[in-house]
Structures are given as structure tokens and as C-alpha cells.
């Protein structure tokens, strides 16, 4: 990808102050539009950490739009990021959601038109939040759904609560919803901060988690934005994320003693690097060995020779050199090479898209390595790389195929608050969003940590709830057109009393060929609301 230098093609993005009103305009070029949104206190802190990363704002951060959303206006005012949105300001008057996920969700829904305006035209949206609190837990999935609605790729990065907070249940609701609207979901387990850094001062420990969140975000942006010797771009990221399954973003920066033996003892050093990269202490289990596709950016000093690079990347692609020998017969007989013979070539290993950038050696001459990996396809049944065999995020969702790719924002007018059809659907779905999926006893027995419970739960619900969701979305989008009753319900800060929040039964019946509508039962009693 070449970065355009022609400033005539600039587009203009709206920037909000803490009142949700536009205060200034910023100019960007016509690169893919990338937006980073931190929602709730933890999400805000992660974006703030990103701002503080040395060199980030002077480099790739310049071409990215950053926002912080929160119900708590004070929290927003204390942070560096200039683009701020107070959620649910009319109702909450800038006060926080008080750890009540119902309040946080309604506040986000109240601000849905501003959020839509912000994500309009986005190609890639990062959403970061802490699961378990009032604002970010369900607010994040509403933002994610809105971003999917404009056709963006959504990468979500969240923290799981400390065990002592007793917020696992809320966190589970949040993760479950966010998972549906995310092309990639990365989870950092706060509890592991205690296990890995028991003697760190409290905020220093939190910063370790914030560092991982912000490194993952900046690593992916670098893959897209930084011109590299072997180039990668946004399309490469899309190819990898469209492989389907769960995905993981890993980042590691290494230098010094541990790498010093890379030229004398490459095998041992590569073992060390592989372990360092794939076992990041705070990230929930990644099962990276199950990945079916990788996007790997290696930025390294001159110590990393062709041979070493080949050995290292082969660890991920699981290439067996003998497989390549079997191609000799075909190469010797090129004149008779027909499609059938080409079809017989097996692509057994994961797909790997590789980017490389040379780094200067460190001052004392020792090696340096920054590695960013987007791994995906974990949890799909077929680990072969043939993409057609996977249910891709785009293929699987009628909702996504209906999504409208918005045009880049070119107007200088303030964001409108007129409701649109997609927003109404989101508002409606937000009410029905939380399914009744308490972890089964079996899951509880197996689970040993926050992340185990959450991950086991996600795996459990996946197929059935996805189907339910598709039915719901198919009906709901048609149904909510100009339905003032629905609009009114969504404006309401509290949920309707009815347990059955599936609003338009008639449309759903039509969309499911007169089968009974899928009922998504949900009441406030299902939520673990600390009041």
C-alpha cells in the first residue's frame, strides 16, 4: 500500500468535545479510516495509555481517530484524548453508571445517533473496555454492533474483572454480546495481574494490562499503516480475520541478553522467542497452535538472517519441508501439469501473511525484535487453510451482509440526531441482547479461572445463540422501520416489564417462514446488578 501524499483527497472527520457537540474539525487523508474507541473507565485508560506510548502519536497514531466514551464526564475530562462523548447525558447528567450494566446499556443506546455518526465510514474499529462495570460491559457491544452496521471490521479488546470484584456474571453477559459483533476479541484477565505481578503497586499492575491492550492496537495499526520491506495492508488483515473462528493478537518486544545467542544458537533462541510471544502472561488462553491463519509482522535487527526467519515463521505455518519435496515430480513434468494435478497439491498448514521491517541494532550491538501476530481460525472444526470451508464472519451473518458501507464524512455539520433504521434495530436488539446463558454445572466444574468460565461459556453458546440472533436480526431490521412504539421504548431508561423483549413478533414469524419466533427471555433479575 502506498500512503497518499496528495492532500487534495483529504476527508474531514467530526470531533466531539465532552458535551457531545462538535468543537473542531480535523483533517485526515484517504487511508482506510481507523477508529479506536475506549468505553468506560478501563477503556478510557487503555486509550490514554496508547496516547502515552512513546512515538505512537507522532507515528501511526496520527492517521487514526481516537475517542473515549463514558457516562462519567469527570473521568473523560481528566484524560488526554481530545475526542470525548458523554453517554446518556440527558438522563444521567454526566454521572457514571454505578456498576449497573442496565444503566450503562441504556445510556449508550441514548447516544446511539452520535455513535453512528462517529463510526460512519469506518473500515476498522477497535473497541476497548473493562468487562464487569456499568458502562463498558454492554455499552461496548452496542458500539460494536453500530460499527458492524456501517461495514467496519471490529476488533474488541477487553479486561475480565478481578475475582474479588465478584462481577463475573456481568462480565459474561458483556463478553457474550461483544463476541457476536467482533471479528476479533482479545481478553486480558485482570486476575492474572495478581498472579504474575503480586508485588507491583496497584496502578502499576493495571498498567501492565493497559500496555497489552494498547500494544495489540498499535501493533495492528502498524501492520496496516507502516510501509514495510515486505508490505502488508488492510486487505491482508481482512483476509486473515475473514478466516473465521476465534482470533488473537499478540505483541512482544524483545532485546538484549536473551536474544544475544540468536546467531550462534538459533534453535534455542527461536524456542525462547516463540514461547515469549505465544504465552503472554495476562492474555486468556490463546490456543494459538489451533490457528488456521496468521498475519505476522517482524521488525528486527540484522541478526535475523534468512535461515533464522525461515525457521521462526515455519513454526507458525507448521510447514514440513518434506511436503515441498513431493512437488518435485510435478515440477519435473511442467508440460503435463493440468488442473487436476494442481488440485492434488495439499495446503495443510495455516495460511501465513508475513511482513518484515528492519530495525537498527541496539546501542550495544545486540539484537532487537518486535513481533506482532494476528492469529485466527481457532475453534473452527477444520484446521486446513482452505477458507471456503470456514464459515466466515461475513458469510455467516445475514445482518452483516445487509450492512451499508457508509461514505466518508465530508460535511462540516454537527452530527445529526435523527433516528435511522439501523439505529432503531440496534436499540431494539439492545433490549433483547442478553440471552439466558448461565454457565452450566459442567462448565463450572471444569472452569478454574475467570477466563476459563467465560471461554467455556462462549464455546457453549455459540451455535444456538448465533442462529437465534440471525433470526432476530433478520426480523427486527424489517420490523422496526418507522415504528414509533419501538423508538419510544428505546428512549426509556428502564426496561419494559415484560420478559419477552422480542418486539415485533409478526415480522419475525414472516422472516422464519411462520415458525414461532425465537423468544429471547430476559429480565432485570437475570442481571447481576449491584444496586
Residues lying near ligand GTP in the complex (CB under 6 A): 40-42, 45, 70-72, 96-99, 104, 130, 132-136, 159, 161-162, 165, 167, 190, 206, 209-210
| Residue 134, annotated as binding a ligand | yes
CA distance 136 to 434: 15
The smaller minimum CB distance to ligand GTP, of residues 187 and 435, is found at 187
CB 445: neighbour CB atoms within 10 A? 10
Least CB distance from residue 487 to ligand GTP, whole Å? 25
- Using alpha carbons only, how large is the chain's radius of gyration in Å? 24
Comparison of 130 and 419: residue with beta carbon closer to ligand GTP = 130
76 or 486: CB nearest ligand GTP: 76
Residue 109 or residue 150: which is nearer to ligand GTP going by CB? 109
Q: How far is the CB of 49 from ligand GTP (least distance, A)?
A: 8
Q: Nearest distance from residue 451's CB to ligand GTP, in Å?
A: 13
Does 384 count as an annotated binding residue?
no
Closer by beta carbon to ligand GTP, 69 or else 316: 69
Q: Flag whether 320 is marked binding.
A: no
Closest separation between CB of residue 510 and ligand GTP, Å? Answer: 38
Q: What is the smallest separation between the CB atom of 454 and ligand GTP, expressed in angstroms?
A: 13
Instruction: For cell 518434506, name the residue.
Output: 322
Of 282, 366, 349, 343, the residue nearest 313 (C-alpha): 349
Q: Check the annotation: does 21 bind a ligand.
A: no
∠ CA 101-106-112, rounded to 5°: 125
Residue 45, annotated as binding a ligand: yes
Nearer to ligand GTP, 131 or 461 (CB): 131
Of 97 and 352, CB closest to ligand GTP: 97
Nearest CB to ligand GTP, comparing residues 206 and 476: 206
Give, in order, the Cα–Cα distances in Å from 331 to each of 224, 326, 327, 339, 349: 35, 10, 6, 14, 21
Task: Cell 515440477: give the residue.
Answer: 331
Q: Where are the alpha helices (DSSP H) in 298-338?
A: 306-317, 321-325, 328-332
Under 8 Å between Cβ of 123 and 95: no
CB-based contacts of 336: which residues, under 8 Å, 6+ apart? none
Pairing of strands 368-378, 246-255: antiparallel
CB of residue 212 to ligand GTP, shortest distance in Å = 9
Q: How far is the CB of 131 from ligand GTP (least distance, A)?
A: 6
**Cα–Cα distance, 107 to 135 (Å, whole number):** 8
Q: Which residues are within 8 A (CB) of 488 and not within 5 positions of it... i.e. 6 or more apart?
A: none
Residue 74: alpha-carbon gap to chain centroid = 27
In whole angstroms, give the CA distance from residue 530 to residue 98: 8
Count other Cβ atoms within 10 Å, centred on residue 251.
23
Is 167 annotated in a binding site? The answer is: yes
Query: To the nearest whole angstrom, how small is the minimum distance from the Cβ of residue 443 to ligand GTP?
Result: 22
Edge-to-edge strands of the sheet including 184-189?
84-86, 64-70, 34-39, 124-130, 153-160, 184-189
In whole angstroms, what is the distance from residue 91 CA to residue 71 CA? 10
41 known ligand binder = yes
Is 43 flagged in the annotation as binding? Answer: yes
Question: Which of helix, strand or coil describes residue 117?
Answer: helix
Q: Is 44 annotated as a binding residue?
A: yes
Binding positions for GTP are 41-45, 134-136, 165, 167, 210
Binding residue ranges: 41-45, 134-136, 165, 167, 210
Amino acid at each position: 500500500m502506498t500512503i497518499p501524499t496528495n492532500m487534495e483527497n483529504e476527508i474531514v472527520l467530526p470531533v466531539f468535545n465532552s458535551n457531545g457537540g462538535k468543537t473542531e474539525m480535523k483533517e485526515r487523508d484517504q487511508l482506510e479510516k481507523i477508529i479506536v474507541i475506549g468505553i468506560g473507565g478501563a477503556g478510557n485508560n487503555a486509550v490514554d495509555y496508547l496516547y502515552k506510548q512513546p512515538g505512537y502519536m507522532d507515528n501511526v497514531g496520527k492517521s487514526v481517530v481516537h475517542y473515549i466514551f463514558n457516562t462519567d464526564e469527570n473521568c473523560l475530562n481528566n484524560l488526554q484524548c481530545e475526542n470525548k462523548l458523554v453517554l446518556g447525558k440527558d438522563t444521567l447528567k454526566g454521572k457514571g453508571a454505578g456498576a449497573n450494566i442496565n444503566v450503562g446499556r441504556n445510556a449508550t443506546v441514548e447516544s446511539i445517533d452520535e455513535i453512528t455518526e462517529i463510526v460512519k465510514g469506518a473500515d476498522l474499529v477497535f473497541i476497548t473496555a473493562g468487562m464487569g462495570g456499568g458502562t463498558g460491559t454492554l455499552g461496548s457491544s452496542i458500539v460494536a454492533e453500530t460499527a458492524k452496521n456501517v461495514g467496519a471490521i471490529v476488533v474488541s479488546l477487553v479486561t475480565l474483572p478481578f475475582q474479588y470484584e465478584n462481577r463475573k456474571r456481568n462480565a459474561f453477559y458483556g463478553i457474550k454480546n461483544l463476541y457476536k459483533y467482533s471479528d476479533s476479541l482479545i481478553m486480558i484477565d485482570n486476575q492474572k495481574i495478581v498472579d504474575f505481578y503480586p508485588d507491583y503497586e496497584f496502578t502499576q499492575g493495571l498498567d501492565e494490562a493497559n500496555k497489552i491492550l494498547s500494544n495489540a492496537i498499535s501493533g495492528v495499526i502498524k501492520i496496516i499503516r507502516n510501509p514495510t520491506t515486505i508490505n502488508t495492508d488492510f486487505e491482508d488483515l481482512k483476509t486473515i480475520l475473514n478466516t473465521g473462528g476465534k482470533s488473537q493478537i499478540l505483541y512482544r518486544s524483545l532485546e538484549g541478553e536473551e536474544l544475544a545467542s540468536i546467531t550462534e544458537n538459533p534453535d534455542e533462541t527461536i524456542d525462547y522467542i516463540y514461547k515469549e510471544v505465544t504465552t503472554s502472561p495476562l492474555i486468556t488462553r490463546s490456543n494459538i497452535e489451533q490457528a488456521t491463519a496468521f498475519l505476522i509482522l517482524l521488525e528486527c535487527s540484522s541478526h535475523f538472517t534468512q535461515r533464522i526467519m525461515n525457521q521462526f515463521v515455519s513454526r507458525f505455518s507448521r510447514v514440513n519441508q518434506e511436503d515441498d519435496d513431493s512437488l518435485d515430480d510435478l515440477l519435473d513434468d511442467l508440460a503435463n501439469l493440468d488442473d487436476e494435478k494442481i488440485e492434488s497439491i495439499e495446503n495443510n498448514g495455516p495460511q501465513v501473511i508475513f511482513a518484515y521491517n528492519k530495525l537498527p541494532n541496539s546501542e550495544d550491538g545486540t539484537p532487537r525484535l518486535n513481533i506482532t501476530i494476528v492469529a485466527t481460525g481457532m475453534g473452527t472444526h477444520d484446521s486446513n487453510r482452505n477458507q471456503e470451508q470456514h464459515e466466515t464472519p461475513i458469510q455467516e451473518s445475514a445482518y452483516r451482509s445487509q450492512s451499508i458501507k457508509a461514505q466518508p464524512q465530508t460535511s462540516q455539520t454537527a452530527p445529526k440526531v435523527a433516528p435511522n433504521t439501523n439505529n432503531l434495530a440496534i436499540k431494539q436488539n439492545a433490549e433483547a441482547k442478553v440471552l439466558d446463558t448461565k454457565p452450566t454445572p459442567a462448565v463450572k466444574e471444569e472452569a478454574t479461572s475467570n477466563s476459563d468460565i467465560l471461554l467455556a461459556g462462549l464455546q457453549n453458546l455459540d451455535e444456538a445463540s448465533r442462529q437465534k440472533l440471525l433470526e432476530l436480526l433478520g426480523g427486527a431490521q424489517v420490523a422496526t422501520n418507522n415504528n414509533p412504539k419501538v423508538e419510544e421504548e428505546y428512549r426509556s431508561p428502564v426496561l419494559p416489564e415484560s420478559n419477552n423483549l422480542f418486539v415485533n413478533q409478526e415480522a419475525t414469524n414472516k422472516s422464519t417462514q411462520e415458525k414461532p419466533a425465537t423468544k429471547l427471555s430476559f429480565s432485570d433479575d437475570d442481571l447481576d446488578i449491584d444496586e
